[in-house]
Amino acid sequence: MEKIFFNQFHLIVRWAILFALVTMLGACATNKSKSVDLGNGQSVNIGFPPESSGFYAIVENTGNQWIINKISSSTLKRTKDSQEVLFVNHSFNYVSPAFTSRGGFIDKEAGAGTDYFVCYVIPIDDQNKGYSPCGKTELAMAATVDTIAANVIGTAITFGLGALAAHSKKMVNRNMVSKILKETDLLTGVRAFAEYPNKLKARHADVIKTAKWDVKLTDKSGFYTGNIDFPSLIQKSGFTPRQSLDVNGNGNEFKIALESRFKNESLHYKVPLSCPDNPKHKSFNLHFSKCPKVIDASPPRKPVSVGVIVKSKDFSDIYPAFSGKDRNISLDFDGSNIRITNNINKYINVLSTTVYYNNVVETSEDKSRNNLLGSIPPQAFTEEKISSLSFLFKSPIKGLANYPEITMAKAKSKTIKFGFAIRYQIGESQQYESFFQTKKYRLADVLLANNR
């Protein structure tokens, strides 16, 4: 019985020491983001892991200083042990080593949950696989209390906890990351890399905007009035900002080199172009019969020849202007507003309004919705916008009022029948009066009147 108790007590003590040791090792080890002063009023947060998107840089220790080898918008891999890979976020205020996992049998890269790296003793042949805080790197260091814990581990072995000695804990070496940032001026280089694609896009747009365009236009629609900036429809093609750029220096040198290259290229720059297939613009249906492949910005700049065909135009909400009257009232419609005028010296009570569009008829008798209905004083009028009468000018009339891809040749062969009917009473009379008129219009005339 005493032996069983002793074994249980021994087990409890072993686990207590294990718990205390793990707590000690993790107490000061953290990869959480912390602000580091870089001097000159500049600070940056350093931690682990990298954010979901940003920039990557390969930096190299040449023996006497750190330099930047490459900057990229996608992940990078180092090719030798003297190199390290750093991540910089889009706001340029967070930097992290860009460690990659080497597999669970080599190390465990704990994130925000435990905030340290757990490294395992592994065969020598496996030590340098991948890019790990547990391999050859200057960007990870022993957790703060590891030196103290070494003695504790020795004691732990005595209690049968030798397995624990096969573990070590590491954390981001912020001092080394800060040193690299200062020596390389990495943030300046990354900012220059991030801005370069936008400068290229702006230059492309400026070259197109300032080009001497020679536009040869063919209007097959019959409705073109000269209000389209055709060159604005031509697109830049083949422009993909480089995903990475070699540096081999510090960030400020890289920035100066980029600015110099940009300035020199601007004088002899060519912008590849492409024309959209059958674009629509300002209701016109277009086709580029001749599309320039490139604009050469080299002086003297030559005219850029473009061929454009205006194939047709899309018209919508087309209603002919209308005027009609009987012996009591008159009705006027300008395509947007309806006016009913009482031309006699007695009150007129409008009971319903009807619209005719070709063979479609729509009637409204609802006074709560139709302000045209009701009493009109002598020698006065009532008026309403067509936009307020959507229940009257609705489908299928609205569909008939749309003319997609129409040309003048087609329009000349079509006609529209359009008009109104009004049912009303005069004064106290119980007798109904009717106004009814429709007219036939050439579609070409109506479209020209609405060609804006």
Residues 302, 366 within the same domain: no
350 forms beta bridges with 374, 424
Residues 179, 196 within the same domain: no
User: For position 242, what pLDDT does the model report?
Assistant: 64
- Strand ranges across the sheet with 66-72: 34-39, 42-46, 94-97, 83-89, 54-61, 66-72, 244-249
User: CB–CB of 63/112 below 8 Å?
Assistant: no
304 forms beta bridges with 213
Residue at a domain's end among 293, 315, 337 = 315
Residues 171, 214 within the same domain: no
Residues 65, 112 within the same domain: yes
Residues 279, 332 within the same domain: no
* Backbone region of residue 129 per phi and psi (left: phi > 0; alpha: psi in -120 to 50; beta: other values): beta
Residues 240, 289 within the same domain: yes
User: For position 391, what pLDDT does the model report?
Assistant: 86
> DSSP letters along 241-253, please?
--SEEEEEE-HHH
Residue at a domain's end among 166, 184, 202 = 184
User: For position 129, what pLDDT does the model report?
Assistant: 64
End-to-end alpha-carbon separation of the chain, Å? Answer: 105
User: For position 201, what pLDDT does the model report?
Assistant: 80
The values of phi and psi at residue 100, to 5°, are: -120, 150
Residues 141, 20 within the same domain: yes
Nearest to 178 by CA among 115, 97, 251, 112: 97
Residues 159, 229 within the same domain: no
User: For position 3, what pLDDT does the model report?
Assistant: 45
User: CB–CB of 160/14 below 8 Å?
Assistant: yes
- State pTM to two decimals: 0.59
Longest dimension (CA), the chain: 125
124 forms beta bridges with none
Residues 222, 101 within the same domain: no
**Residue-level pLDDT, tens digit, the chain, 452 residues:** 444 444 444 444 444 444 444 444 444 457 888 999 998 888 999 999 899 899 999 999 999 899 999 999 999 999 999 999 999 999 999 999 999 865 443 344 444 445 778 776 655 555 556 788 888 899 999 876 443 344 344 444 334 444 444 567 888 999 999 999 999 999 999 999 999 888 888 888 888 888 889 999 999 999 999 888 888 888 777 666 667 888 888 999 989 988 888 887 766 778 888 899 999 999 999 999 999 988 888 888 889 999 999 999 999 999 999 999 999 999 999 999 999 999 999 999 999 999 999 999 999 998 888 889 999 999 999 999 988 898 889 889 999 999 999 999 999 999 999 999 999 999 999 999 999 999 999 999 999 999 98
Q: Is 289 helix (H, G, I), strand (E, B) or coil?
A: strand
Residues 302, 342 within the same domain: no
Residues 118, 202 within the same domain: no
User: For position 198, what pLDDT does the model report?
Assistant: 84
Beta strands in 188-275 (DSSP E): 213-219, 235-236, 244-249, 270-274
- CATH number for the domain that contains residue 431: 2.60.40
Radius of gyration of the chain measured on its C-alpha atoms: 40
Helices 186-209, 174-184: axis angle to 10 degrees equals 50
Nearest to 132 by CA among 111, 114, 108: 108
The count of structural domains within the chain is: 3
- Helices and strands counted in the chain (H then E): 8, 28
Residue at a domain's end among 299, 315, 331 = 315
CB atoms closer than 10 angstroms to residue 222: 19
Residues 43, 125 within the same domain: yes
Domain that holds residue 286: 186-315
